Structure 1
């Protein structure tokens, strides 16, 4: 498997995505999401969080929207890409499901 990009994390299993999210500082996740196609990633993240967790995530995302600088967003994306690739290499999580998208919340 090649290098996993941040956008590919939408294809992680629910359990693997939760494992990844637990390793990330909230600020890094928020900046990375704001630096990409927010809608699909936001939906996928909210799908695996508890109802209250999803509400907090969306509130924080909105608050960060005005603070996010493109350079900071790119650094956050790179940080997550490095982490997810390390976690796959160390077999802490499985790589993204190739060729299909997991069902996302509507």
Structure 2
């Protein structure tokens, strides 16, 4: 057991950029859908990704994907978060916002 003032050893094998994602599920049905009538709805979700300031790398070039669902078994999936080369997305100590579509 380590003493109370001792620092924990760094973990190995994880991506150098630590990501903490906070999902803000902003359900916004499209105007052409009918809620409550068994008609499929298309919703827009806002995904906010906050990167750690403790990450050793300035940014990541890794492909980042996300999948989540709700209590009704609706699933939203982004095979790859949209980042363009030269963009400042997913940099250390930053917050990026992405808009995703799903049921």
Would the TM-score normalized by the shorter structure come out above 0.5? no
Greater Rg over alpha carbons, structure = 2
User: Which one has the bigger strand percentage?
Assistant: 2
- TM-score (normalizing by structure 2): 0.26
User: Which one has the bigger helix percentage?
Assistant: 1
